[in-house]
Each structure stands twice: as structure tokens, then as C-alpha cells.
């Protein structure tokens, strides 16, 4: 489980700028432009050399990325909608086009160009990805509203046990249900 209470803040992708990144053939970031750094909340230096799943959001089904890599391995362009995780646990949605970078006919890297999405498409893709995660991974996305004093107790306990609030909530659920 992922801490939910930091994850509701959306960063809006500007329509006049492109988020650009390139990776090596294993998906490690080799280039990130300033817009990518700004939108994801990282410094460019923090992104270079990291696996691109540094911005992977837990709402994204595994099968989407499986298809992405299979498409790239066939030498084709993958186009799709991605919800990404910011460094501060917020999120941003993009429409992405990922494809190979060739030098003298040889595949050397992959590149991704991203554009903003409208709110209707974001809502539609959230529903589709929720259903996919449910079908493929048996995971349901749940939003929990808790009294503030309950949240405080969980956070205090997490701090004392040097665990994450998610771990504590999982423990309580496991103890109660199983």
C-alpha cells in the first residue's frame, strides 16, 4: 500500500512545452530536459542514470509497461497515456510517444516525448487503469477518509516503529482480517 494523503496533488503539464527524456536500452535515463525535471519535481542531475521507473506511479498497471517494452522490442513506436509520480508523491498525467533513437541504422537509445491530456481523458484512463489493476493484479484502489486523530496516531506509531504509515495500516488490516 502507498501513502495516499500526499498523492492527491496534481501538477498540470503546460501545453506549450514538451517533456523530453531519453534512456539507454535498459531504460536508464540518459537525458532529461528542464521541463521534465520541473514537472517531476527532480533536478536534472537526480534523473540522469536512474531507471525511468523513478517516476512510476502505483496506479499504473504492469501490463501497460510490458506492452510498451514489447512494442519497442519490435522496433515500433508505443503511444499511450501515463500517470507519473512526482518526487513529492504528487502526480501528473501525460500522453507519451516512446520510440527508438537510431544512429546509422543502429538502435542506440529510446526517447519519449510527452504532451498534456484533457481532464476527460485523465478521468477515463484512471477508470481503465483501475479496472486493469483489479483484473490483472487483484488490486483495488481505495480512498480512505480517517479522523485526523486516527491519522496522527498512525503517524506517531510509524515514527516510533521506524516504519511507513502504510506498513502500519497494512499491519492493522492484516491483524484484523486474517
Contact between 112 and ligand FMN (CB under 6 A)? yes
Query: Nearest 5°: phi and psi at 31?
Result: -150, 140
CB of 38 to ligand FMN, least distance (A): 14
Contact between 39 and ligand FMN (CB under 6 A)? no
Query: CB-based burial of residue 42 (10 Å sphere; 0-12 exposed, 13-18 middle, 19+ buried)?
Result: buried
CA-to-CA distance for 174 and 12, rounded, in angstroms? 37
Contact between 111 and ligand FMN (CB under 6 A)? yes
Give 93's strand partners: 83
Near ligand FMN by CB under 6 A, which window of 58-66, 115-123, 130-138, 153-161?
58-66
x/- track of binding to ligand FMN for residues 80-99 (CB under 6 A): --x-x-------------x-
**For ligand FMN, the closer CB: 125 or 168:** 125
Helices (H), the chain: 34-40, 44-47, 62-73, 119-137, 148-161, 165-177
Contact between 23 and ligand FMN (CB under 6 A)? yes
Q: What is the DSSP letter of 10?
A: B
Q: Which one of residues 65, 130, 158, 166 is an interface residue with ligand FMN (CB under 6 A)?
A: 65
The site for ligand FMN, by CB under 6 A, has a size of 17
**For ligand FMN, the closer CB: 98 or 168:** 98
Query: Nearest 5°: phi and psi at 170?
Result: -60, -45
Q: Which one of residues 39, 47, 52, 91 is an interface residue with ligand FMN (CB under 6 A)?
A: 52
Q: Are 28 and 21 in contact (CB under 8 A)?
A: no
C-alpha cell at 27: 531504460
> Using CB under 6 A as the criterion, which residues of the chain lie in contact with ligand FMN when the complex forms?
21, 23, 27, 52-53, 55-56, 60, 62, 65, 68, 82, 84, 98, 110-112
Amino acid at each position: 500500500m502507498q501513502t495516499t494523503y500526499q498523492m492527491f496533488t496534481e501538477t498540470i503539464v503546460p501545453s506549450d512545452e514538451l517533456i523530453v527524456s531519453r534512456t539507454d536500452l535498459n531504460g536508464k535515463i540518459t537525458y532529461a530536459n528542464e521541463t521534465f525535471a520541473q514537472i517531476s519535481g527532480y533536478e536534472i542531475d537526480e534523473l540522469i542514470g536512474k531507471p525511468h521507473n523513478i517516476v512510476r506511479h502505483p496506479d499504473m498497471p504492469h501490463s501497460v509497461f510490458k506492452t510498451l517494452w514489447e512494442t519497442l522490442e519490435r522496433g515500433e513506436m508505443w503511444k499511450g497515456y501515463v500517470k507519473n509520480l512526482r518526487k513529492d508523491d504528487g502526480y501528473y498525467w501525460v500522453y507519451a510517444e516512446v520510440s527508438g533513437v537510431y544512429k546509422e541504422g543502429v538502435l542506440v537509445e529510446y526517447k519519449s516525448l510527452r504532451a498534456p491530456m484533457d481532464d476527460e481523458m485523465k478521468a477515463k484512463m484512471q477508470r481503465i487503469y483501475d479496472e486493469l489493476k483489479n483484473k490483472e493484479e487483484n488490486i483495488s484502489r481505495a480512498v480512505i477518509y480517517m479522523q485526523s486523530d486516527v491519522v496522527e496516531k498512525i503517524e506517531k506509531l510509524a515514527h516510533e516503529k521506524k516504519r511507513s504509515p502504510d506498513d502500519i495500516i497494512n499491519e492493522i488490516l492484516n491483524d484484523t482480517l486474517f
